[in-house]
Amino acid sequence: MEANAFDPPEGSLRRSVGRGAIVTAMAQSVRVATQIISVIVLSRLLSPQDFGVVAMCAPVLAFIALFQDFGLTQATIQKTGIRHDEVNSLFWINVAVSAVLACVLAGAAPLVAAFYGEPRVSGLVAALGLQIMAYGLGAQHLALLTRRMQFTRLAIIDVASAVTGLAVSIAWTFIDRSYWALFAGTLTGAVLPTLCYWVSSRWRPGMPRKVEGIGQLLNFGAGITGFNFANFFARNLDNVLIGKYWGEAQLGLYDRAYKLLLFPLSQITNPLSKVMVPALSRLKDEPDRYRSAYLRVMPLILLVALPGVAFATAMSDVLIPFVLGEQWRQSAPIFLALGFAGLLQPLNNPAGWLFVSQGRSGDFMRWGIVTAVTSVLAFLIGLPYGALGVAIAYAVSEYMRTPFLWLYIGKTGPLKAHHVLRAATPFVLGAHLALAAVWFAKPFLPQQHIVAMAGAVVLSYVTTILVSLCFAAGREALREALKLVPMRAPAAVPSGAK
C-alpha cells in the first residue's frame, strides 16, 4: 500500500467530520445505554462478591493498560504520509508490548491475590492477559480506520461489540453464574472489535523488519504514554489519600460526587476526540484551516456542556439527593466544589487534541507532569480538611493552571492563547454568571424538585446564551449552532475544509 492509501479520500474531510460527529455520538449513546442495562441485569444475576472480585482486578488492569498501546495508534493517526513498512513495524511493536504485559499480568497474579487475600483473583488477573493481547493485535488496524475517517464503520463495530459483550455475559450466567461471566463479556468486547478491524481495514501485516525513521514514531508514542502515566496519578491519588486518611465513608462521598460530575463531561469530549484528532492531523500543515476548524468546534462544546455544569453545581443540594438518594446528601458540598473545576474542564480537556494533532507529544507529556504535580500538591493542601478540602483545592488548582495551559499550547502552532480567549470567554463567563443566577433564583423556584430543576436548567442555558450574545465571538458561535438544527452537521467544520 502507498502512503496515500492510508489517508481519507480527497475532498472528504468536511463531510467525514460532520457525519463522524453524529454517528460517534449515536454509538456512544448506545454504549452508555448498554452499560446501564448491564449494571441492572447483571446485578440481578450475579452476587456482590462476583463484582468485588472483578473490582479487585480493575486497578491492576488500568495500570497495565497505560502501557499496552504505547501511544503508537496516535502516532499512526497523526503522522503525515505514513508508509506500510512503518505501520507494519508499529504493529509488531504493539504485539510484542502486549505479549510482555500479558506475561507481567500472569506473573503478578499470585501477588495480587496474596495482597487481597482472595485466591480467586489470581486466575482472573492472569486471564486478563488475553484481553491485552486482543487489543495489541487490533491496535494498528483501528488506527488506520480512524486515520481514514471511517467513523460510521467504527461506530457500528463499537455498538456491535458492546451489545455482543453484554449478551455473552448474560448467556454465560446460565453456564456458570460467577465472575467469569463478567470476564467472558469483556473478552468478547476485546476480541470481536479486533476481528472487525482486521476485516474492515483490509490491511495485513508482513514479517517484522528494521525500518528507518521508526524511532521518531516511538518517541512520539513515548510522549503520549508519559502523559497517560502522569495523568493516571493525577486522577487517582486523591482517592488513595482520602481513603487512607479519612476512611471509606469520606471516600465514598467524594467518589460519587466526582463521577457524577465528570461522567457526563467525558461523554461529550471523549467521543469527539476520535473525530477531531484525525481531522486536525490532516490540517496541521494549513494553519488557517486548522485554527478555524478548532475554533468552530470548541465553542459548540462549551455551549452544550457549560450551562449544564452551571445548573448542576448551583442545584447540587437538590440534585444529589434526587439522583443518588437522601443518604448521599453529604456529597452535595463536594459536588459543588468540584463543579467549579467542571466549568473549565470542557475548555481544557480538548487541549490534548492540539498536542497530538500537532505532533507535540513531548510537550503533552511535560504538561501532564505539571498537571500531576500541581494536582497532587492541591490534594495534600486540602487533605487536612477532608474530602471537601481536597475538592476545593483541586478546583482552585484548575483555575490556576488554565491560563498557563493555553500560553504553553500557543508558544508554537497555529492556535494562540488570544484565539482561545476570544472564542471561549462568552461561554465561560456566561456559565459562571448562569451559576450565580440559578443560585440566587433557588429560593423562588417551585417546591417540586423536578419542576425546580427543569426551571433551573432553562435559566442556566438562557443566561449563558444572553451573555454570549454580548460578544461578537459568541454571536458567531451561536450562528454555527443554529446551522446544526436542521441536521446540517458538516457545518461544524470550516467551509473551506476538504
Q: How confident is the model at residue 484 (pLDDT cuts 50, 70, 90)?
A: low
**Assigned C-alpha cell, 225:** 504514554
Predicted pLDDT of residue 498? 37
383-394 burial, b at 16+ Cβ within 10 Å, e below that, comes to beebbbbbbbbb
What would the DSSP string read from start to end of 120-138? HHHHHHHHHHHHHHHHHHH
Q: What is the mean pLDDT of residues 206-217?
A: 78
The fraction of the chain above a pLDDT of 70, given in percent, is 92
Q: Is the pLDDT of residue 328 over 90?
A: no
Summarised one tens digit per residue, pLDDT across range 390-405 is 999 999 999 999 999 9
pLDDT of residue 413: 85
Average predicted confidence (pLDDT) for the chain? 84
pLDDT tens for each residue of 347-358: 998 998 999 889
Can you state the angle between helices 120-147 and 214-283, rounded to 10 degrees?
Answer: 60
355-398 pLDDT, tens digit each = 988 988 899 999 999 999 999 999 999 999 998 999 999 999 99
User: Taking the complete model, does pTM exceed 0.75, yes or no?
Assistant: yes
d(CA 476, CA 470): 11
Q: What mean pLDDT is predicted for residues 439-459?
A: 91
Identify the CA nearest to 348 among candidates 236, 428, 457, 284.
Answer: 428
Angle at 422 between CA 417 and CA 427, to 5 degrees: 115
332: helix, strand or coil: helix
CA distance 219 to 203: 24
Alpha helices in 343-360 (DSSP H): 345-348, 351-357
Number of H helices, E strands in the chain: 18, 0
Q: Where are the domains of the chain?
A: 3-212, 230-492
